[in-house]
């Protein structure tokens, strides 16, 4: 798939019974799930970098930060973009009694909205018009309300960092038309995401933004999209 890399997706799941332990960081197990694999790398950035690479870099950074903050039981569901099924990602999380499941993606905008440019003699796709993040919540799990609350918490923190959600997934176009649960915070309903709807877990998925998630304004966002740098993503 040759598309501009525009979205970062974080899938988050709160396991049933986690609330009482939520304040004990050392006991709160968090599964960080870097989306896609080397064989199935997802979207391609405007400079030809596979989404899976961005996901892995970001997942490792999130894990490092969580450990630093005292979440010693945080772990990755997958490493080095190895082959793994969606269900096995969930199984790994369940085996380690994860109370929160975070799946990280950098997805694209719909192809009809992309422009093209040439980079290193190769035609690539990109967009400078669609930026921002989105949070996704599945109602097909044991605690949709808890998942939504978590999405609201995360969305509020993102907003507090001047990171603006995108309405792209609610557009009345093919492949989108997602239902908003909270437009201001960029929270959507997405019931059938595999990693979000399994069994008893509370499911909340989030899609915080494009590569421009860390930028402060639209101009920076556009530039960052072509630079494809996680430094830009996290340095701001």
Q: Is 146 in the site for Zn ion (CB under 5 A)?
A: no
Note whether 6 binds Zn ion by CB under 5 A.
no
Q: Find the Cα–Cα–Cα–Cα dihedral 216, 222, 226, 230, rounded to 10°.
A: 20
Q: Rule CB under 5 A: is residue 35 a binding residue for Zn ion? A: yes
Helical (H) or strand (E) element with 166: none
Q: Residue 60 CB: number of other CB atoms within 10 A?
A: 16
33 binds Zn ion (CB under 5 A): no
**By the rule CB under 5 A, 142 interacts with Zn ion:** no
Q: What is the largest CA-CA distance in the chain?
A: 56
Stretch that binds Zn ion, among 39-47, 170-178, 183-191, 207-215 (CB under 5 A): 39-47
Pairing relation of β-strands 202-207 and 75-76? Answer: unpaired
> Which of 29/151 has CB closer to Zn ion?
151
Strands of 129-186 (E only): list them.
134-137, 179-182
Q: Name which position in 6, 47, 89, 105 contacts Zn ion (CB under 5 A).
A: 105
Note whether 107 binds Zn ion by CB under 5 A.
Answer: yes
42 or 142: CB nearest Zn ion: 42
Q: To the nearest whole angstrom, how small is the minimum distance from the Cβ of residue 60 to Zn ion?
A: 17
Picking from 235, 223, 193, the residue whose alpha carbon sits closest to that of residue 90 is 193
Q: Residue 180's closest CA among 200, 152, 160?
A: 152
How many residues in the shown chain lie near Zn ion by CB under 5 A?
4
> Near Zn ion by CB under 5 A, which window of 28-36, 56-64, 125-133, 175-183?
28-36
Name the segment binding Zn ion (CB under 5 A); options: 78-86, 101-109, 125-133, 161-169: 101-109
Residue closer to Zn ion (CB basis): 42 or 146: 42
- Residue ranges of alpha helices (H) inside 115-211 are 144-160, 194-197
């Amino acid at each position: 798939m040759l598309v501009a890399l525009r979205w970062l997706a974080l899938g988050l799941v709160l396991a049933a019974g986690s609330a009482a332990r939520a304040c004990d960081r050392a006991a709160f197990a968090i599964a960080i799930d870097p989306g896609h694999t080397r064989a199935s790398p997802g979207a391609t950035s405007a400079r030809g970098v596979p989404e899976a690479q961005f996901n892995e870099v970001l997942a490792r950074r999130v894990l490092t930060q969580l450990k630093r903050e005292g979440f010693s039981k945080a772990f990755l569901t997958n490493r080095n973009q190895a082959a793994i099924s969606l269900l096995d990602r969930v199984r790994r999380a369940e085996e380690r009694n994860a109370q929160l499941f975070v799946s990280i993606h950098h997805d694209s905008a719909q192809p009809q909205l992309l422009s093209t440019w040439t980079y290193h003699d190769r035609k690539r796709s990109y967009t400078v018009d669609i930026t921002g993040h989105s949070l996704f919540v599945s109602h097909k799990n044991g605690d949709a309300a808890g998942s939504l609350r978590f999405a609201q918490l995360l969305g509020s923190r993102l907003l507090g960092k001047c990171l603006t959600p995108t309405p792209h997934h609610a557009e009345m176009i093919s492949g989108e038309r997602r239902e908003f649960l909270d437009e201001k915070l960029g929270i959507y309903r997405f019931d059938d995401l595999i990693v979000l709807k399994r069994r008893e877990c509370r499911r909340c998925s989030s899609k915080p933004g494009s590569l421009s998630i860390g930028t402060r304004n639209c101009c920076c966002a556009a530039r960052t999209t072509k630079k494809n740098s996680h430094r830009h993503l996290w340095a701001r």
